[in-house]
């Protein structure tokens, strides 16, 4: 069975110095995992590039899509292999270009030569000149345009062979999943938290999530919406564990015993306490939220400081300085936006005060909380935990 060749390039992994072999090993494992759906697929590192071979019965677009979704992959190129003989390189390059002409009707091109193997007698500019001449001779409809060509053909001569490719399909880059510990994200059904989870996973962090509901004030469909969001994320990260917590008893006690304008912030502090307990129990290193500085009353600088004061665990906010429009664009890119905007409200919309406090004082908030049995409420909430495994 014939196999198609794909060149997979890493991004930051190449800069890791003494730790590079570890990151390369994890990235190779992740790519191989992504290719498990293709029979007889293979992947291996050769001189700093990953070479993937998949039977040609599978769609090229599908294989590329599988690879670029792996964090740590910078780009992927469909490629063909040629012996390290300039005439054979030229012949195979011409055949490659003829297929591009037949498919796209291009008129202009240029060749870029690369000589990673310095023992190859012909230098990079001369590789480009000679191969370009052979392509011109074989493909009569083409002309050279070095400034704005329809196609840039790259010839990369390496130790084992020469590789000919055209496109570089961009990946997400970042670091391989699992190389930077594990974190727990507070996952709502909104636009922000799925993007925050994605961004932390792109930095190599394994993710699990906690979701709060206030049934019957929130509907079961609201939780299903969150499960759908996590399923999209699982397409990038693999199976994600979702901890579901009933927050309603805490909200009812806050509404009954505390000032109305502090309701949102007090609920948020309980969310953080509960999340920290779950994170400690499951070996998570930090909490993650989708908060964006100044976006709503509970996300002012003063409110965030008061919120964080109830936990000892670090709180990561990868969206903290992003514009909302940029967050929305990222949500569209990763495929969560259309789910997030579905009109099913989460627990954060329950018992909203008319005029929430925006510049809270920690002492005043703690005084309000003194009317509550904090430990008992947190313990009961954690005990209500339901765990759902969300698979891709």
At 289-317, the pLDDT tens digits run 999 998 887 889 999 999 999 999 999 99
What pLDDT was estimated at residue 295? 85
What pLDDT was estimated at residue 145? 95
Q: Which residue has the higher pLDDT, 108 or 345?
A: 108
Q: CA distances (Å), 87 to each of 90, 111, 189, 331, in order?
A: 5, 15, 59, 48
Distance between CA atoms of residues 24 and 30, nearest Å: 10
13 pLDDT band (50/70/90 cuts)? confident
What pLDDT was estimated at residue 110? 96
Listed residue (365, 101, 386, 57) closest to 244, CA to CA = 386
3 state DSSP class of 374: helix
What average pLDDT does the segment 256-268 reach? 93
What pLDDT was estimated at residue 11? 83
| Percentage above 90 pLDDT, the chain | 88
Q: Which residue has the higher pLDDT, 216 or 92?
A: 92
pLDDT digits 0-9 by tens, 308-347:
999 999 999 999 999 999 999 999 999 999 999 998 777 6
Distance between CA atoms of residues 307 and 301, nearest Å: 10
- Fill in the DSSP letter of residue 391: P
The phi and psi torsions of 154 (rounded to 5 degrees) equal -105, 135
Q: Which residue has the higher pLDDT, 209 or 349?
A: 209
What pLDDT was estimated at residue 94? 97
What pLDDT was estimated at residue 135? 97
pLDDT above 70 (res 188):
yes
Q: Please, which residues bridge with residue 170 across strands?
A: 75
pLDDT above 90 (res 219):
no
What pLDDT was estimated at residue 347? 67
What pLDDT was estimated at residue 37? 94
Per the rule left: phi > 0, alpha: psi between -120 and 50, beta: everything else, 48 is: left
The phi and psi torsions of 242 (rounded to 5 degrees) equal -115, 120
pLDDT digits 0-9 by tens, 119-177:
999 999 999 999 999 999 999 999 999 999 999 999 999 999 999 999 899 999 999 99
Parallel/antiparallel/unpaired status of strands 143-144 and 108-115: parallel
pLDDT above 90 (res 218):
no
3 state DSSP class of 120: coil
The phi and psi torsions of 236 (rounded to 5 degrees) equal -95, -30
Listed residue (179, 200, 185) closest to 313, CA to CA = 185
3 state DSSP class of 242: strand
What pLDDT was estimated at residue 361? 94
Q: What value does the mean pLDDT of the chain take?
A: 94
Helix or strand run (H / E) with residue 380: helix 374-383
pLDDT above 80 (res 353):
no
Distance between CA atoms of residues 80 and 75, nearest Å: 16
pLDDT above 80 (res 183):
yes
Parallel/antiparallel/unpaired status of strands 206-213 and 182-186: parallel
């Amino acid at each position: 069975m014939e196999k198609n060749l794909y060149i997979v390039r890493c991004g930051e992994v190449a800069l890791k110095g003494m730790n590079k072999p570890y990151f390369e090993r994890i990235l190779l494992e992740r790519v191989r995992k992504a290719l498990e759906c293709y029979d007889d697929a293979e992947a291996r590192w050769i001189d700093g590039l990953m070479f993937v071979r998949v039977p040609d019965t599978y769609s090229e677009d599908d294989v590329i899509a599988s690879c670029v979704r792996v964090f740590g992959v910078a780009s992927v190129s469909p490629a063909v292999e040629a012996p390290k003989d300039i005439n054979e390189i030229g012949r195979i390059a011409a055949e490659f270009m003829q297929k591009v002409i037949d498919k796209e009707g291009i008129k202009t091109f240029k060749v870029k030569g690369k000589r990673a193997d310095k023992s190859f007698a012909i230098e990079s500019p001369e590789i480009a000149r000679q191969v370009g001449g052979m392509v011109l001779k074989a493909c009569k409809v083409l002309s050279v345009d070095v400034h704005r060509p329809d196609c840039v053909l790259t010839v990369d001569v390496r130790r084992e062979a020469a590789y000919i490719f055209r496109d570089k399909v961009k990946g997400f880059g970042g670091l391989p999943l699992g190389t930077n510990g594990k974190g727990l994200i507070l996952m709502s059904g909104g636009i922000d938290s799925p993007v925050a989870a994605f961004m932390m996973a792109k930095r190599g962090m394994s993710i699990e999530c906690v979701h709060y509901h206030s049934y019957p004030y929130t509907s079961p469909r609201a939780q299903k919406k969150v499960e759908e969001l996590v399923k999209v994320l699982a397409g990038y990260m693999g199976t994600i564990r979702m901890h579901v917590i009933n927050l309603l008893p805490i909200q009812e006690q806050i509404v009954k015993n505390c000032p109305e304008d502090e309701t949102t912030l007090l609920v948020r502090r309980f969310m953080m306490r509960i999340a920290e307990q779950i994170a400690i129990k499951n070996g998570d290193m930090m909490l993650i939220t989708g908060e964006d500085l100044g976006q709503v009353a509970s996300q002012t600088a003063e409110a965030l400081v008061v919120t964080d004061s109830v936990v000892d665990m670090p709180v990561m906010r990868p969206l903290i300085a992003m514009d909302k429009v940029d967050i929305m664009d990222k949500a569209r890119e990763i495929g969560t936006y259309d789910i997030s905007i579905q009109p099913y409200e989460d627990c954060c919309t329950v018992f909203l005060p008319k005029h929430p406090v925006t510049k809270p004082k920690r002492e005043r908030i703690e005084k309000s909380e003194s009317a509550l049995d904090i430990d008992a409420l947190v313990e009961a909430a954690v005990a209500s935990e339901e765990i759902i495994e969300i698979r891709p």
